[in-house]
């Protein structure tokens, strides 16, 4: 009997400790998100927008190939863009007074141009003129968005020596994107919009997130 009671007491104690541990973890997670810098939160939203842009270029390429998956991909890109820009996370950043920050303005400019490009991509088809050049322009966006995301991710300072590899490779990708633009001679409105977007991506990440903790 004594032994049974003792076992029961031990099990209860273990259960309580487990609960305490869960509570502690939840508390730490809340603390962590409270301490997370606004720059880190903005960069993560920005990475989502870069990805929406990449999805658009894939959708645009599929439209040029005549694939019926093209419009569906453009729909998904638009939904992600809307989710990132109109979600509670963005609203919170604005509420906290970050609406006029340079990084926020850049993000809104990029999102606006992405939305405009996605709309224009709806008109692409197998019959579109200069399809090869348009695909090269799409690749320029793809490469620049990848470079921009790698740099922003490495600026979070989460992976030590690997951050350096990421930032260097990101810069190489931005250079590659610039080179691709020079290869395409188109001067129509669509190409100009692509060039504007690539230039925005090249100019984006400037401030290491960890130095601006608030
Ligand atoms: Cu905003």
Residues 17 and 68 grouped into a single domain: no
Residues 112 and 202 grouped into a single domain: yes
Q: Which domain holds residue 23?
A: 1-35
Angle between helices 102-121 and 189-202 (to 10 degrees): 150
Give tens-digit pLDDT for 135-155: 999 999 999 999 999 999 999
Percent of the chain with pLDDT over 90: 71
Cα 37 to chain center, whole Å? 16
Residues 80 and 44 grouped into a single domain: yes
Residues 121 and 177 grouped into a single domain: yes
User: DSSP letter string over 159-203?
Assistant: STHHHHHHHHHHHHHHHHHHHHHHH----SHHHHHHHHHHHHHHT
Residues 107 and 186 grouped into a single domain: yes
CA of 48 to the centre of ligand 1 (A): 13
Residues 41 and 28 grouped into a single domain: no
Residues 96 and 176 grouped into a single domain: yes
* pLDDT given at position 187: 79
CA of 42 to the centre of ligand 1 (A): 8
Number of domains in the chain: 2
Residues 5 and 105 grouped into a single domain: no
CA of 67 to the centre of ligand 1 (A): 34
CA of 45 to the centre of ligand 1 (A): 9
Beta-carbon neighbours within 5 Å of ion ligand 1: 90, 104
The DSSP symbol for 60 reads: H
CA of 104 to the centre of ligand 1 (A): 5
Residues 47 and 17 grouped into a single domain: no
Give tens-digit pLDDT for 84-136: 999 999 999 999 999 999 889 999 999 999 999 999 999 999 999 999 999 99
pTM of the predicted model as reported, rounded to 2 decimal places: 0.79
CA of 212 to the centre of ligand 1 (A): 17
CA of 3 to the centre of ligand 1 (A): 63
Residues 78 and 168 grouped into a single domain: yes
Residues 106 and 6 grouped into a single domain: no
CA of 15 to the centre of ligand 1 (A): 44
CA of 123 to the centre of ligand 1 (A): 29
What distance in Å separates the CA atoms of residue 182 and residue 114, rounded to the nearest whole number?
21
What distance in Å separates the CA atoms of residue 29 and residue 102, rounded to the nearest whole number?
29
Residues 62 and 135 grouped into a single domain: yes
């Amino acid at each position: 009997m004594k032994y049974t009671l003792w076992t029961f007491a031990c099990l209860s104690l273990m259960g309580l400790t487990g609960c305490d541990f869960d509570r502690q973890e939840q508390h730490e997670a809340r603390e962590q998100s409270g301490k997370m810098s606004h720059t880190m939160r903005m960069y993560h939203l920005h990475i989502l927008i870069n990805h929406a842009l990449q999805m658009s270029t894939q959708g645009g390429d599929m439209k040029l190939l005549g694939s019926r998956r093209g419009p569906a991909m453009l729909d998904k890109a638009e939904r992600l863009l809307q989710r990132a820009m109109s979600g509670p996370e963005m609203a919170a950043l604005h509420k906290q007074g970050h609406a006029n920050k340079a990084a926020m303005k850049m993000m809104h400019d990029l999102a606006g141009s992405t939305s405009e490009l996605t709309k224009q991509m709806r008109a692409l088809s197998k019959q579109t003129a200069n399809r090869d050049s348009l695909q090269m322009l799409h690749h320029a966006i793809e490469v620049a968005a990848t470079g921009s995301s790698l740099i922003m991710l490495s600026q979070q300072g989460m992976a030590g020596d690997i951050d350096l590899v990421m930032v260097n490779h990101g810069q190489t990708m931005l250079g590659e994107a610039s080179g691709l633009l020079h290869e395409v001679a188109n001067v129509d409105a669509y190409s100009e919009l692509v060039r504007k977007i690539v230039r925005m991506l090249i100019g984006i990440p400037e401030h290491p997130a960890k130095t601006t903790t608030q």
